[in-house]
Amino acid sequence: MSSVRVFAPATVANVGCGYDVLGFALYRPGDEVAVRLTDSGKVTLDQVEGDDGRLPLDPEKNTVSSVVISYLEHIGSKQGVGISLHKKMPFGSGLGSSAASAVGGLVAVNEIMGRPLDRSELLPFAMEGERLACGNAHADNVAPSLLGGFVLIRSYDPLDVISLPVPGDICCALVYPHIEIPTLAARQIIRQNIPMSGAIRQWGNVGALVAGLYRDDLELIGRSLEDFIVEPVRKMLIPGFDGLRETAVANGALGFGISGSGPTVFSLCRNKTCAEAAAKALVSELAGNGVASTSWVSKINSEGAVVLK
């Protein structure tokens, strides 16, 4: 095998109430990463596309190459690897762009090296990519992109990632207003201490959301998608956020929130038809406010990153 190409999906992190502990994978958008074996004895970035020249080309500083370097060191290999990264989603969008690149690189290099590690063993390397990208090694984007489905990070130390079931037809509408919010900045504005009253409501919602997923109870899932801690601060970065929520709910969304650190907003819907209606209404509302946007509709991706034939 001389080269391997991988698609790694975008993700919705936090899912309303679960800051840094909940996330799910999408079928689209996502990044593609190709790796090939070389004789150079080094990890090189052969090509980076779709980034408007913004990503660093130094292999130690670029997320995708830095995680591949750490991985090869870990397995004790001096193999040269050339990487091509095809960015197919916007930066600073709240869709887990850096996470998808890191996951794509790790799955591809692990495949070409004969899969010495299993998927879950790749997770700590992908988390270090997040640290490089935004200063914090959270897993709520990288874990679903790598493992697929809806995941809960019960603990970071020790790392304990739990896969949750997803009701069959549930579908997600994503609308990305064309503004950029760097994750680091969006993390810096969050309060580090929270009132007990907010914490009580928040952990009630996290527990209820998990119960809703297990019970196939769409109404319970919808009413658990409330965030009393992070959204009240971050929504100020998203133009017309409260109106967008009203529009999503009026168009049948079960629940609505900020995807990751934003500005993308997500609506969980009972099926694809409803998700398409919600996405269309949100794009139209943003346009009415003078904000261009892009939308996607996706079911929850149970597979995560895939090796492409």
Report the sign of the C-alpha dihedral through residues 306, 22, 182, 123, in that order.
negative
Give the nearest distance from C-beta 21 to ligand HSE in angstroms.
8
- Closer to ligand HSE by CB, 64 or 218: give it: 64
Is 183 one of the annotated active-site residues of the chain? Answer: yes
State the DSSP string of 255-276: EEEE-TTSS-EEEEESSHHHHH
Q: Which residues, listed in sequence order, are joined to residue 269 by a DSSP beta bridge? A: 171
Q: Which residues, listed in sequence order, are joined to residue 172 by a DSSP beta bridge? A: 268, 298
- Closer to ligand HSE by CB, 82 or 177: give it: 177
Q: Please report, for residues 33, 67, 162, 163, 171, the alpha-carbon distance to residue 147 in angstroms, rounded to integers and kept in the order given.
A: 17, 17, 10, 9, 19
- The gap from C-alpha 23 to its chain's centroid, in whole angstroms, comes to 7
Give the nearest distance from C-beta 114 to ligand HSE in angstroms.
31
Give the nearest distance from C-beta 238 to ligand HSE in angstroms.
13
Neighbours of 136 (CB within 10 A): 12
Q: Which two tokens stand for residue 95?
A: 């869709």
Place of tokens 């800051």: 19
Give the nearest distance from C-beta 71 to ligand HSE in angstroms.
21
Place of tokens 């980076």: 48
- Closer to ligand HSE by CB, 144 or 240: give it: 144
- Closer to ligand HSE by CB, 205 or 261: give it: 261
Q: Are 153 and 160 in contact (CB under 8 A)?
A: yes
Write b or e for each residue in 83-110: b if 16 or more Cβ atoms lie within 10 A of its Cβ, otherwise e: bbbbbbbbbbbbbbbbbbbbbbbbbbbb
Cα end-to-end span (Å), the chain: 12
- Closer to ligand HSE by CB, 13 or 244: give it: 13
Give the nearest distance from C-beta 23 to ligand HSE in angstroms.
8
Active-site residue (options: 130, 226, 231, 285):
130
Contacts to ligand HSE by CB under 6 A: 13-14, 19-20, 138, 140-141, 183, 186-187, 260-261
Distance (Å, whole) CA 192 – CA 25: 27
> Which residues carry out catalysis?
130, 183
